[in-house]
Every structure is written in C-alpha cells, then in structure tokens.
Structure 1
Amino acid sequence: AQISKCEGTEDPSLVYDVDDSPSPLSKYVDRLTQATRGTQKTPRLAPDYEDRALIVQFLRGNFDAVVPLSIQAEKVRERIQALEPAQYAVLDATREEPRLVIQGGAGTGKTILALECARRAAWEGRRVLLLCYNRLLRRCLLDRASNIAESGQIDVRTVHGHLHQLIQRSSLRPEFEKLFAAAADEGERFQRLYPEYGALAALENGGPHYDFLIMDEAQDMLTHPVLDALDACLKGGLARGRWRVFLDSNDQAAVYGQFDHDARRGSVLWDGRWC
C-alpha cells in the first residue's frame, strides 16, 4: 500500500512514510514508543524484542515489499510486488549473515532476491559485483539493475567477462592470449586459463576491489579455479568477506556441465549459512 505524509497530522513522527522504508520497521516502533510515552500519565513498558518481532510479523505485509525491478522504489509505489513468506525469510537472513548460500528451483525468485540484495548492499555504500554465467542473463540483470538508484555501485558481469576485464588490464594479457590461442579445447580456455590468470590479474591490479559479491545461478560457476579467482576479487576473501550465492543444484545444475559438488564441499562456501 502507498503510504505518504499526512497533512494536518499533529505529530509527523507518528507517520510511517517512504523515507522510512529503507530502515527496519523496529526503528519506527521505537519512534512510536518514544512519542507516546510523553502523552501517558501512567508510564508503560516499551515493547521488548519478542513484542517487536510480533508487531513486525503482523504489519510486514504492508511495509516490507519490493518494487518490480523496472521501477525505482523511491519514486513509484503503485505497482509494489509483495514477496512470498519464504523470500521474507531469506531477506531477513541477509541482514544478519555476511555469507549466505540460497538454494531454490527454477521460478522461485532467486534472481529477484539477488537484485534486491545488490540494491540493499549498494544503498549501504558497498561496491557490489553481481555475477552470472551466461550473457543472456547478464543482459537481463544489467537492464534491471540500471533502474536501481545506486546502480553506479553495482557491476553486473558474466564470470568470464569479469575475468577477461581483469586480464586485459594487467601485464599478463600477452601471455594469456598466447596460451588461449594454443589451448586444446574450450574447457582448457574457460575452466583453467581464465580463472588462473584472472586471479593473478586481480592481485596485480591492486587486490580486492569489491565489498560484496553476489552470484546468480551459481551452479554453473562453482569450480575450484573460479572460486579461487573470485576470492582474490573480494575484500576479506570468500572466507571473511560478504557474499550471497544463489543456486539450483538439482534441475539446472547440468545445463553447462560446470557444477562441481567437490568444489562446493571443499570450499569456504560449505562454511557459509545455507537456506
């Protein structure tokens, strides 16, 4: 529902409006508590953590919503698309967890969540790297991310496109291009050379540049060499940095034949929270 400033309101601080939407609803509840204390003759206890959780659960259908990705949330409220309860749980988890793996089948809204996570991280002032595997999905993500107010903080790339840019800006470019041309097959080029030289190029170019890493349809990128390369791009690395990995390890895992269960179990992704 659209919520706006109410003319004639005796105390504007009692109104929840669009300026409040980026903040947790608990802050608004705290504001109400402070405002009403002064009007009561008999002091009352402020709501505790459990009380506020119940209030948030009751009210969130009206307040915790995501605008369709083609519209900026700050400017348009008419076409707000409410999230499903399972998606609420994921967004709640992202507020607390620095490293999170989200599994879901096709059509469960992983891409919507990935973009919303990117928007929230960018809004917090973080530089975000949003990766996918194929160029078609990248064009879709890029188009939708361009409507995010903080889009300048978000780089949307395919994983090999990102590694290619790193290599092109490094002194390793001539050596890489020579080996790339002489490689026996595509597997050698994209599964070994790109990740290996991309990691070296990231270190040569000044080390990690991103505060937040998001991987959409990550089942096509989860190999040891790729994870090693991305580790060099993220501040704190995969072990201590902030990241979100969205994947479908079942139905779509074999589309490109890249999913490596051993890489998943043997990497720091295994130590992140799974949901």
Structure 2
Amino acid sequence: MRMIPGYIDEAAPPGEVAVFRKLESAGSNWTVIHALDLAPYNQHRRTELDFVILIPDIGILCVEVKSQREIGFDGERWYPDSISRSPFRQAQDARYALHRRLAERLASFAHVPVVHCCIFPKADFAVPANMSVQPFEVMDRGRFEACATGDQFCDALKRMARRIVDSDPVIRPLNASLTALQIESLVSFCFPIRMRRPEKETESRYREEELEKLLRDQQRPVMQLTQYNQRVLVEGGAGTGKSLIGLEVARRKAAEGRRVGYLCFNRLIGQWAARELEADRHPHLAGGSAYSMLMSLTGIEPPVKPDAEFWSDLPLQIQDRLTDPACAQDARFDYLIIDEAQDILGRPDLLDCIGLLLDKGIAEGNYLMLGDFRNQVLTNASGVKSNLEAVVRRAARWMLTENCRNYQSIGEAAMTLSKAEPDTYSGYLRHGGGLETWQLALYEDEQDQVQRISTCISQAVASGFREDDITILAFGAQQQSLLSQLHESSGRHFVPAGAAAKTGVRFSTVSAFKGMESKVVIIADVMPSETGFDRSRFYTGITRARERLYLFCHQSGKSQLAGWLSGKEQ
C-alpha cells in the first residue's frame, strides 16, 4: 500500500488514525492520499476529504471519516452537535469538487468513476429510512472492527466502491485498470491541495530568512503578538509593512493547520494578495477583496454590469446566505487577516458580513487587523471611530511608524503636500536615492503634459527600469484621452494596473491604486486649488513610489503648490 504522506500525526482525529493504520498495513497495490483540502477548487469554501483511495480496477473512492462515538440523525439534524452538516453531503460535495477539477485538468480522468462513502470507526450507525443514503455507502464501528486485517478492510472497501458504481446509472465502470502514469498524474494533481506537506518546511524557512531582511525591529514583534493573542490590531501609515506582515501571518497560521482568509477592501490589493497566496499552493489559504471573497464563498454571481442597487443589496444577500448553517460551515475560517481595516470598519454592513466568517464573530474571533486610521480618507469617519474603539478594547495593539517602502525624500514630500500627521513616520529604512528620486513638473495644457510624461517614461526606461515597473496614476478620474495620446506620442503599450499577466506601462487612479506600490510612479492631472482640493490624495499617491516619483501639476496651481511645499500655507 502506498500512503501519501507516509505517516499520520497521532494528534489527528482517532477515527482517521484507525483508518490510516489499517490501510497502511494492507498489501494492496493501491495509492492512498490522506487529508486533502479542496477549497481552492470549490470557490474557497471549506471542502475537505480525509482519504482519496485509488483502486486501480474500480476508480477513485473519496472517504469521509467521523471519530465520534455516537452518531445519529433525527430527521432534521445530526447529533452530536459537533456534526454541523451531513457527513454524506460533505463527502458528496468534496467528491464532486474533485471530479469537476479532474475532468477540467486531466482529460484521462473524465470518465473515471469517482464515488464516496463514510466510515464511522467508533460509532454504530444504521441508515434511517428517511435518509436518501444507501446502507452500502457507510461503514460503521461493527463493520470496521469486523475487518481484522488491513487486507480484509481493503476487500470491504472494494466491495463498497464496486456496489456504489454499479448502483449509479450515471457512472460507467472502468473498461481497463488505471495505469501507473494515470496514478502518478493524479498524485501530482493533488500535491497543491494536500494538507500534510513536510516538503514545504525548507521553503518556509527560506521565506522567514528573507522576511527577516525586509522587516525592521518595529515590525518583527507583530509575529509574536499574533502567536500569543487571539486578536491583534496593527496601525501604521502607508509603507510601514502592514500587508507584508499580514501575508506572513496568514502563511504561518495556515502552517499550523488553520483555515485562513486574507481580506482587504481595495480590488487591486485583493488581486495581488490572491496571486501571492495562490503561489504558495497551500489549500488552507485564500485571499482577495472582501466583496469578491464573500460572493465566491456564498455562491453569488454578480451581473455583467452591476449597478448601485446591486451593491446596495449585496450585504443583505450575503448575510442571508451566511446565516444558513450549511453555507456558514463551508464559508467559515479559523483565522482572518483584515487588511485596509479603515475602509472596512467604516462600512458596518460589510463588517457584519465578515464577522459571520468567524465562529465567534469580530467580538471574540481570531484575527489580525491592519489599518491606517490617521491619514486615509475615511468613509463614515464616525462609524470607523466607534468600531475601532470596540476592536481596541478586545485586541492587542501595535503601532508601526517606520517607513520601509519610500526613500525619505519621497516620504517627506507626501507628508508636506498632503498635510498628514507630522508623526506618521519616525524614520525611514531608505535614505538618499539621488537627485532624481522625485521631480515636480508644471504643465500648460494636456498636450504639454502628454509630451512631458512620454519623456519621463523614456528616461526611466533608459535608466534600466522596465515598462512593467512604471505606473501612471490619474489624480482624479481616469483620463482615457490622456492614455490614447500617450500611446500615440510614445508608441508604448499601456495596460490596467491589475492586469498582472500583461506587459506594458501600468495605469490606474490614485484612489484605485491605494495600498499598491510601483518602482516608478507618475502622477498626472493634478490641478491644485484653494477650495475643494483633496490634499490627502497626495499622501495616497506619492507613497506608492519605491524608486522614483514624477508629479505633474497644472501651471495654474503654481503659487498654491509653492505655499504647500514651503509649509507656510496650511
């Protein structure tokens, strides 16, 4: 018998240990994969399989094991209360999720039978007449203990699997046994969703070493805080390493065996976080913007062009679905990383939805919350304050004031122009940067600005930056006309900032790019004025730049800018 992995933690549920021991002692030429988390293949909903057994002449048997000593169904609910949903439905849903993805990815498995059963090694169970389950789909304590050896156990499983296949008119039996090549392709396919992966230990150590180089003394204690506190609140300005910390905590919590969700407000950060976590290939990890994750977890499909009414009604739709016990069970996480907390705390309906993803809600659940509550433009500022005060009462708190992203000259320009809190940063990791670190240019009209920006792009590329390293941010609404003229003027390719798979100069707006970063940032369409001008956008936009910043302001705001830069006009 080939067991993957070749061991089982004795701290695993006793029923799983008992099944594992019998399987590993058998002489069958089967392959058994223990502990798969299919959440990445099922909209990140909690979808787990205790065992996937490859029986070469039958197909694939998906097994759900329950370790309780008493299991029953009264017609409405399962008992004991620790069984929150039908084990048979749980096994069925996981089986379908596995089969769907197999058919998509491995053509040779499109017609391979995939069936499921339940094993209750510690409990007697007779299938009630009011259940749509056949007696041969379950092995209870009596039948399990009757299998004195591993080979007898495998014989019983094989009989169960064959009978399940024969009783289902939709499933066609195998014409020929699975080949060694097919079996190896399935093992490789299941690698990313295995929950027990000691192969990842070396990679984890390397990542921790790299993180030590990036984080400063002020950021490192957050790791310990999250280890010894159920709830942690981290506050800090742009560029203080909040998102970096959040991703690392997510990975560490997942390595402990917890199901972890990384949620943020901004769509671009959500896409970035999802890519980062997907690259880890860890089934316990899921990330994305809060609304996209909530819709995915609850099965809500947005319309092609969602209108204001859709977004207004969405929180109620999500809450309705998450109050359904079956949906709630699949959607819940053991630990949440809540990034951009200033935007989420200011939206009570969204916060309520996120609270339903934790067993004990925001009040008593387990999470790391990260936010910038001092300098961002906050929606519902009074609501943010009251919700923040509630979090502060229940969470360990840590302040970050060391800027790890920007050169000091860029950070100081952001502080001065935006009129941000003067003590936002206590220091900068990066000093110097040369005379070209940031430049302010005044333009007369749109054509003048287009020509100047085109020149800046050429200079940056000539200095060794790639087009992908350059991002143009519109200070206000996105100006499509500016982009079309730039394309004609420079002959370069421009792509949306969120199009990670495409190459070219990135473009977005200051607001949409909040939380992101780029080596070279060009901020366009700045028109300073005495009234109605949002200076906080300087903070949001300027702090995106890691290496170089170009700021293009209209000539009409020259005196206004001079006053702001000198600090005399507040």
* Superposition TM-score, scaled by structure 1 size: 0.60
Q: CA deviation at 1:241?
A: 1.5
Which whole-Å CA distance do the structure 2 matches of 1:85 and 1:245 have between them? 20
Which whole-Å CA distance do the structure 1 matches of 2:221 and 2:253 have between them? 17
Which whole-Å CA distance do the structure 2 matches of 1:258 and 1:155 have between them? 28
Distance 1:80 1:159, change over 3 A: closer
Which whole-Å CA distance do the structure 2 matches of 1:200 and 1:269 have between them? 28
Which whole-Å CA distance do the structure 2 matches of 1:123 and 1:203 have between them? 29
CA deviation string 1:161-197 (max 9, x = no partner): 122224436xxx8xx98xx97xxx73x643x522222
Which whole-Å CA distance do the structure 2 matches of 1:207 and 1:97 have between them? 25
- Higher normalized strand content (fraction of residues): 2
Q: CA deviation at 1:267?
A: 4.3
Which whole-Å CA distance do the structure 2 matches of 1:164 and 1:212 have between them? 19
Partner of 2:317: 197
The answer to whether structure 1 residue 145 and structure 2 residue 277 are counterparts is yes
Partner of 2:198: none
Which whole-Å CA distance do the structure 2 matches of 1:136 and 1:236 have between them? 29
The answer to whether structure 1 residue 112 and structure 2 residue 235 are counterparts is no
Partner of 2:292: 161
Which whole-Å CA distance do the structure 2 matches of 1:267 and 1:189 have between them? 30
Tell whether the 8 Å contact from 2:336 to 2:366 is kept in structure 1 after alignment: yes
Q: Which amino acid aligns with 1:147?
A: A
Partner of 2:547: none
Partner of 2:327: 206
State, as a whole percentage, how many aligned pairs show the same letter: 27
Q: CA deviation at 1:104?
A: 0.6
Give the counterpart of 1:127 among 259, 262, 282.
Answer: 259
CA deviation string 1:104-159 (max 9, x = no partner): 1000000110001100110000001110112211121122223336x211111211
The answer to whether structure 1 residue 264 and structure 2 residue 396 are counterparts is no
Q: Which amino acid aligns with 1:101?
A: L
Partner of 1:220: 343
| SS of 1:86 mapped into structure 2 | coil
Q: Which amino acid aligns with 1:206?
A: C
Partner of 1:58: none
Partner of 1:238: 362
Distance 1:236 1:78, change over 3 A: closer
C-alpha RMSD of the superposition: 2.9
Which whole-Å CA distance do the structure 1 matches of 2:286 and 2:273 have between them? 10
Q: CA deviation at 1:262?
A: 4.2
Q: Which runs of 5+ in 2 are unaligned?
A: 1-201, 399-570
Distance 1:267 1:200, change over 3 A: farther
Tell whether the 8 Å contact from 1:101 to 1:273 is kept in structure 2 after alignment: yes
Distance 1:228 1:270, change over 3 A: farther
Q: Which runs of 5+ in 1 are unaligned?
A: 1-70
Which whole-Å CA distance do the structure 2 matches of 1:77 and 1:115 have between them? 12
Distance 1:79 1:91, change over 3 A: closer
Q: CA deviation at 1:228?
A: 1.2
| SS of 1:108 mapped into structure 2 | coil
Partner of 1:51: none
| SS of 1:230 mapped into structure 2 | helix
| SS of 2:291 mapped into structure 1 | helix
Q: Which amino acid aligns with 2:350?
A: V
CA deviation string 1:65-87 (max 9, x = no partner): xxxxxx94346788564221111
Which whole-Å CA distance do the structure 1 matches of 2:294 and 2:221 have between them? 33
Which whole-Å CA distance do the structure 1 matches of 2:394 and 2:323 have between them? 24
Which whole-Å CA distance do the structure 1 matches of 2:396 and 2:209 have between them? 35
Distance 1:229 1:76, change over 3 A: closer
- Higher normalized helix content (fraction of residues): 1
Tell whether the 8 Å contact from 2:269 to 2:288 is kept in structure 1 after alignment: no
Which whole-Å CA distance do the structure 1 matches of 2:333 and 2:271 have between them? 21
